[in-house]
Structure 1
Amino acid sequence: MTHAPFAARLTRHPIAFAADAAADAARSLADLGPDLLPLIHGTAGCSPYLKGLMLREADWLRAALTISPEAALAEVLEPLDTLSVDTLGAGLRIAKRRVALLIGLADLGGVWRLEAVTGALTQLADRAVHLCLTRLVAEEIRRGKLPGQGPDDAETGAGMVALAMGKMGAHELNYSSDIDLICLFDETRYGGDAPEARAAFIRVTRRMTALLSDLTGEGYVFRTDLRLRPDAAVTPVCLSMAAAESYYESVGRTWERAAYIKARPCGGDLAAGQRFLHSLTPFVWRKHLDFAAIQDAHDMRLRIRDHRGLHGPIVIEGHNMKLGVGGIREIEFFTQTRQLIAGGRDTALRGRTTVGSLAALAEKGWVPPEVAEDLTALYRAHREVEHRLQMVGDAQTHDMPATAQGVARIAFFSGTEDVAGFRAALTARLEQTDFLTEGFFAPGQVEDGPELSDSARAIVDAWANYPALRSDRAVAIFQRLRPSLLRSLMAAANPDEALVAFDGFLIGLPSGVQIFSLFEANPQLVELIVDIAATAPVLARYLSRNAAVLDAVIGGSFFAPWPGCAALTGLLAEHLSGVTDYEGKLDAARRWTREWHFRVGVHHLRGLIDAFEAGKHYADLAEAVVAALWPVVGAEYARKHGAAPGRGAVLLGMGSLGAARLNAGSDLDLIVIYDSADAEASDGPRPLPPRLYYARLTQAMVTALTAPMAEGRLYEVDMRLRPSGRQGPVATSIESFRAYQMTEAWTWEHLALTRARPLAGNPDLAAEVEAFRREVFAATGQGPKVLADVAEMRSRLQAAKPPEGAWEAKNGAGRLMDIELLAQTCALRLADPARRVEAQLRAGVKGGFLSQAGETALLAAYRLCWRLQAGTRLLTDRKLELDRLGSGGRAFLVRETGEADADALSARLEALVAAAAAVISERLGEKDGAGDATD
C-alpha cells in the first residue's frame, strides 16, 4: 500500500507556548518548508524534549519528512535485524530517538490517529525485545549454558518467551510508556537439565532488561517492568511455564485474569508462548458469566485511589489522567471487567484492544452502542492529553501540571490558546467518563427492606446459616440485594408461598458469590426467580443446583425466536467442536442442553409459548442432542474399534420423541437399526463383528445420554420398543428388523412403529427404514385381529396404569395414552405415515374409520389433557394435586388451559375425558362392534 508523504497529511499543529524555543528550532529547520514549519514551531515551543530530538536528529528528520511516516518507520526498524549483541544497545537507542520523534510529530500533526501512534511504539518495543532476547540466548548457547541447544535454536529463544502484558500486549503503548513483560521458558524442552536452563534464562532476562532500560549517552530504549509475573516478590525474573501455570490455577487473582486479556508473545519462542496462553484459557475465561469480577474490579479501583490519594472532586491541576476519577483506567476497567464477565462464553469478546473490545461488547449487547461510542471518544481524547503530558519532557507521567501555567502549556500543546475552554472541556470529559463507568462498578447502598411477619422473619433469619452465605463476600453482596428481593417476594400473589419457595431455592445453592453478583448486576433476574419460585418450586430447586443456566437469560438471545431443530443441531455441533476430549464434550453437551431446556421451561411458565409449542421445542432440543452426539460417540468408538462396518446405523426416535412432542420431564424412546452390508468385522485396532460392534456402539450412545457426570445427565433413555423388547439385542440389523416386523411382531409393536422417526445416522439407511415402515402398515394394518388386539391392549393398560386422582391427564380412559392409542390405530389401519396425534386422527376421518364428530371429541380431550400434562410436568415431578400446588401454580394451569378457575377446569376435564372414552370404546368394538364409522 502506498502512503502519501508526511506534509500532505497534516491536519493540525500545536501552538508555541515558549516563543524563544520555537523560534530557535524554526530557524534551524527552516529548510523543511512552509507546510511543516507550523508543526516544528509549535512542537518546539511546547516540548523541550522534542525540540532537543529535532535538533539532534535534524539530518535524519529532513529526509524522513519527505516520505510517508510508514516508510520512515520501516527504514528505522529494518536495519536493527543486522545488529550484533555488542552493537544492539546503541543501535536500539538511536532507533528509539528517531521513532519517538517521528511518532510525536505524526501524532501532533494529526497525520496518525491514536491506534497508529500506539501501534508504531509497540512495533519498536516488539522488535527490541525479540532482538535482545534472541541475541542474548545465542550468547548462552555459545557458552554452552543451555544444554542440547544449537545456534539455530537462538532464533526461537531456545524455548524462552517474553509475554507482552498491559498496553504493550494490546499494541496501546503510550508515548513514554514502560513495557510490562513476563519471561517464561518451556521446561519440557530440557527435562532433567531444566534447573541449568533456568539459570541461563534468568541471566538473559536481567541482561535484556539492562539493554533496554539503562540510561546511557544515547538515551534508553524502554523502561522495563517484570513485576506482573506470578508472585513477583519471591519468584525469579524468568520461571518455567509449569510453575506459572500451577500458580495461576491455585492462587491466581481477578486482576491477573484481567492482565492476561491483553497478553501475547512478543519475543523468543512465540509458539511456546501461544501454547502457554492457551493453557491459561480456563483461568482467564470462566465458563459461566462472572459478575463477581465487578466487585473485584471495584475493590481494586478503591485500593489504587487510596494508595495514590486520588479521591475527591476533579481539580485539573495535578489530576491523574490515568488513575484519577474519570481517567483512562476507568474505561479500561469498565471494558476488561465486562470482557471477563462474558468472554468465557463468547470468544468474540476476548479482544486485546480497548477500542476494539468496546465495539465488540456493543455488538453483542453487553454495552449500549451509544455508551461504547462515547467511551471510545473519551478514551482517545484522554490518551491524546496523556501523550502531550509525556511529550513535554519524556516523563512517564499521567499527572496534569500542578500549576495554571503548566496547564496552559498543555492547552497550547493540544492546539488551542483558549485555556479556559480547554480546562472546561477536559473537566467535562472526566466527569462524563466517571458518570458512564461509576454506576457499573460502585455497589448500591444497603436499603431498608419491607416489614415482615413473625413467620417470614423466622425464615429470613435462618438464611444466615445457609451454605450460600458462608463467606463474608457473599454476605456483603446479599445484604445489598436482600431489600429489593424481599419487596419482590412480598408483592407476589401469595407472599408466604413465594417466600417458602424462594427459601427452597436459596437453601439448595452450594455457594452465593456468583449468583448474588449476577442478581445485583441484573435486577430483572430477581423478578424471574421470584416468579419461578412462586409458581414452579421444582424448577426453582433445579435452578439452585444449576444456577449457571441463568447465564443464558442475560446472554443476549434468551427471548429470541426459537431457532428450530436444524439450527440447534448446528449450534451444539459447533459448541462441541471446540472441546478436545470426549468426556469434556459430554459435559459440554449437558451444560448446553440444560440452558436450552431451562429456556423452554421459562418461556412456557411466563406464557411466551403454550404447551404445544413447548412440546415441539423440547422435542427439537432432544433431537438436536441425539443428532449432534451420535457422530461424537461414533468417532470415539471408531478410535478403538475402527469405522462402522457396512452402511452404518440409524437412530429412530419412538413414542413421544418420534411424534416430536415432549414435556419437561420426558425420557427418550430410541431404537437402533444397522446394515453391516455383509462386512465381517470393523477395521480398527480392536476389530469387532458387526452385531457386537453395533450393540456396543448403541450402549455407548445410551451411556453418553444417561451417564451422571459432573454436569449431570442429559436424558433417561428407554429402548424397550426395540424388536423383542428387553430380550432383544440393543441394536438390530435391517434384515432382522424386516423379518421380525413382517412375521413375529405383535400389533402393539406395529402401533409403536407409527411414531418411529429417524433422528440421526446414515441418511440412505434412514430412507430405507422409513419406506419399510410404510410397507409394514400396508401389509399388517388391515389384519382381522388388529382391533381386537388394540382393545385387549387398552384393557391391560388401564388395569396396569389406572388414573392417579381426578387431575390425571396421561393414564386412564379418554386421556392422553388412550387417545394416542386410537390415533396410532388409525394410522396403522389406513397405512398413513403420520406420526402426530392430530394428523393420525385426521387420517382416520379421511379413511372412514372415524367420524368428524368423533375426531372433534378426541381432539378436545387430547388438547386439554396435553396442556394439563405439560404444565404439570413443568411444575412438579409428582402426581398433580391442585390444592397443594400453591396459588402461582394453580394460576398457571388455569391460564394454560383457558379456564376461569380450578372448578371450571375440573368440570371440563371430566366431561371431555368421558366423551373421548366413549368414542374410543365404540371404535374398538367394546360396545357395538367394529363396524363402519359413525356419523
Structure 2
Amino acid sequence: MIEFKKVKEKKDALFEQRIGKVLPIYNAETGRLILPNKSFDNIINSARNSAPYLSMLIDKWPDVTVALGTKSPETVFSDLLKHIQPLSLFELNITLRHVKQKVHLLAALCDLAGVWDWTQVCQYLSDFADRAMQMLITAIAQDMEFDGTQDNPVPGLFVLALGKYGACELNYSSDIDLIVFYDPERVKLPNPARAERTLIRFVRKLMRGFDEVSEHGYVFRTDLRLRPDPRATTVAVSTRTAERYYESLGQNWERAAMIKARAVGGDRAVADTFIKDVLTPFIWRRSMDFHAIDDVHSIKRQIQGGANPEDIKAAGHDVKLGVGGIREIEFFVQVQQLILGGRNPQLRTRRTIEGLQVLAEGGFTDPESARILQDNYAVLRNAEHRIQMYADEQSHTWPKDDKQRKQLTALSGYEDVEKFEANLKRTFLQVHHIYRDLFAGAEDLSTKKGSLVFTGVEPEAITLQTFAEYGFERGSEIWQIMADWLGGRMPATRTERARELLTRLAPRIIEACGATGTPDIAFFSFAEFATKLNAGVTLFSLLLQQPTALSSLIDMLAMAPKLAQQLSARPNLIDALTSPEFFNAKMKITPNCYSALIPADTDFETTMNIVRRAVHEDQFMFTARLLRRTNPTGAGEILSNIAEAAITALLPIAAKEAERIYGPIKGDFAVLGLGKLGGRELSLQSDLDIMLIYEDGANSSDRDTFNKLTRRIITSLSSITAEGMLYEVDMALRPSGRAGPLAVSTSAFEKYYCEDAWTWEFMALSRSRVVAASSPEFTAKLENVTAKTLQIKNYGDDLAKDVLNMHQRLQNEKPGFGIWDIKNTAGGLRDIEFIAQFLILKHQPKIIPPATLDMLALVRDEKWLTGALVRTLLKTARFYHTLQQVLAITVSGNFDPDTAPISVKNLLVSATQEQSFETLEQNYIGVCAEISDAFRQIIR
C-alpha cells in the first residue's frame, strides 16, 4: 500500500495547477460559478471522509493516485482502457471489474477537483462502457465459436444504447439501457437451425459480463426492458419484429427514448441501416395532426401536479424524478424534439445540453430560459454524481440523514449544509417554473394528489405514492395494466387514436376509482370491463366529454363487479349515464312498451335484436338505480314487468316466423308464467319458468304445429344474437315435465291436473299467471281454467306429508352451497315459499295471488296463522328478497363473505339498513333458525 505522502511527492507542477481546483459552485448572490482553490490532499481527504465507496477505492487502487502524480488524467484514462484487451472471457470479466473501479476513482477525483466538468466525466464513463461492450462481444463470440471477424464478431447482430449511455451522458452509477437486435437474413451462427436460442444465450452472457456481481465487483447494471414489447419478446429482438412493432404500437415515450439511441456494439453497418430505415421515420415525423401533438404533450403533462413546489425541501428530494429535477429538463427538450424534429433536423441531437442550445438558436425556446436550464442541468447532474459516489448506488435522492447531508455537501465544495440545500431548492424551483410553462394551456394529466406517469418500463416512486394517496394497495399491478393498455395490448387500444384518448382519460380513471372508497376493487372491475371491449375510441371520447358518466360507471363497477362482463358486451348502454334524468326518471314498463318499438314488417332476427337492446337498457337502468339508491323494494316486480313486456313483444313475431316456415297457425295460445316470473319476483339471475298452452278444437292446428311455435318462442328468448341473450328458459314445470310435449292443449292441461298431477305441481301452479296471449279472450279463459284447477283436488291429510316429502327431496337433490344460499339453506326462502303454498292449497281460497308476499298477506288477513308468526314470515321474506336482488346484481356464482369484496358487503348493509355486515350476518343466521322452526311448526 502506497502512503499518500509519497503520492504528493510525485505530483508535477502542471498537475498541481490543474488538480488545485474543485467543482464549480453556484453562487446565489452573483448567479455565477466560482472555482476556489484547494490542495490535492484536501481532495483526497474530502473523498475519503465523505464517501465510503471512494474511501474503499482509494485504499484498494493507490496506483491511480500515483499515476495522477505523473500523467494527465486523460492519459491515465487512456492507459486504463488499454488494459482491456481480447482475453479469455473469464479473464476479461475480472479485468473489466477492476478497470471499472479505477475509472470510477479517476473520474471522482477529477470531478471533485474540477479538472473534469460533469460532461467530461459522463463522456469518459461512456467511453469505458463502449470499450467494455466491444471487448465482451468479441470474447463471447469467440467463446461461442461464432463465424465473425475481429471487427464484426457477430455479423447481423448489433447493440443499441439508449438513455444516458446512448447520449454519452452516463452518470456515476447508471444502469445502461440496451436493446439487442439481429437481422435474421444477415446473422451468421454456428447452428442456424437454433438461431434464436443461440442469440438468447449470447445476450444473457453479454449481460452477465456487465452486471454479474463477483468478489471483483460488477461493471454496469443493465436493463433490456426498453426493447419492443419486453414481456412478449426475447432478449434478442428480430429487426422484422421491431419494425412491425414500431409501425403499429410504438408509443411516444418510446420515440423519446429512441432519440438517444446509438449503436455501441456489433454489426455497425446493419445497425446504421436499421436506425436509418426503421428508427428515423419512427422518431422523426414530418407531419403530425392535432391529436398526435397533444399525445406528445402528455409525456410532459403526466408529471405535473401534486404538492406545492414551494413546499419542497432538498433533503429527501429526488434530483432526477422530483419536481424541478433532471427529468423535467430532459422532457423539456425531448417533447419539443418530437414535435419539431421531423421538419428541423438540427434538433435531432442526443445530448440534453446540445438540445437546449439548438432550441434556443432556432428560436424555438427563449434563450434565457435555455441558459438557465443548461446551468441548472449542470448543478443537478453534479448533485446526482455526489449522491452516487457515496456508496455506488443507483440513487437520485438527496439524503435526509444529517451526517450524509453534511458529507455530500462537502463533496460539493460547501461547508454550510443549509446554504447549499437552499441553492439546490432554488435550482428545483427555477427548473420547474420553466418546465411548467411549456404548453401551459394544455390539459393537466396528473391528479390533485400527484403525478401519474405511465411511460417507461416500471412504475416510478412518485406514481406509486400517488396511488397510495388514493388508497390503492396494488399500485404496481395497476400501473402495469395501465401501461399495457397505453401500449396497445388490449383490443380497445389497438388504434393510435384510442391510445391518445386513454392517455387523457387515465388520471380521471384513477381519481374516480379512488373516490369509491374501494379503489382496488373499482379499478380491477373497470379493467375487466375495458379489456373485453372490442373498440375504444367512441367510449373513451364519451367518458372524456361526460365526466359524470365515468364516475357513475366506476361507482357501479366498484359495487357490482359482475357488471363488467355485461357492459363490455354492450358498451352502448353507458350512453344512458350521460342523461341528467337517468337516476331520477321513473321507470315505465308497460306490457306493450317493447312492441311499440318494432316497425311493421320487421323480420324475426331484427325484432329479437330490437327487444334485446331495449331489455338490456332497462335492466341496466334498473341496476344503476338500485346501486345508487340501494333500495330493492319493488325490484322483483320491475324485472318481471320487463320480462313480460319482452314476451308480449316476441310472442306474435315468433308466431309469424313459425307461420312463415311451417304454415298457418290456427287457434289461440298463451304463455303461462310460473315460479318467480309468475310471482313477479324475478331477479337479474332468474331464468323464466314458462308453459305454452293452446286452445284445442276442430278449427285449431295440431299439437306438432304448436310444438314448433314453442320452439320459436324459446329461440326468441334464449338464442344469442348480436345483442346477446335475453333469458334462460325452463319448461320443466309443464305437465309430464321434460317427458311431455312442449305445448299443452287446454283439455290436456285440465285432464292432467285432474288425474295425474302431484301435489308439488299444484304448489307450482299456485304461482302461475298468464303473461302473454294471442287474444284477451283466451287470457280470461286460461285464468279461469287455472283457478278452477287449483280448486279441484281434495288433499286431506296427505297434503302435509306430500309437501314434506317434496321438501326433503329438494334438500337431497339441490342442497344449499352454504348458509348464504338464501333460497336453499335451512330456513331460507324456499321454506317460506313452501309454507305459503301449503296454506294456499290447504285452505283453497277462490282467488290465489301468485306472489309469495301476497300469499302471506292473504294468510294474515284470513288469520290462518297467528299475527306474530305471519309478521315474521312477511318481514323475513322481504329481507330475503332484498338480499337476493343485491347479490343477483353484484355476484356471479355463490356468495362467500370470506372472499367477497368489501363493496358488496357494504351494499348489502346499506340495502338492509343494518349497522355492519357482522350484524347483518348474525341477524340472517338468526332468522334462518326462526324460519326453520316455523316450517316444522306449520307443516306437520
Q: TM-score, normalised by structure 1?
A: 0.49
Q: TM-score, normalised by structure 2?
A: 0.49
Answer with 1 or 2: which has the greater Rg. 2
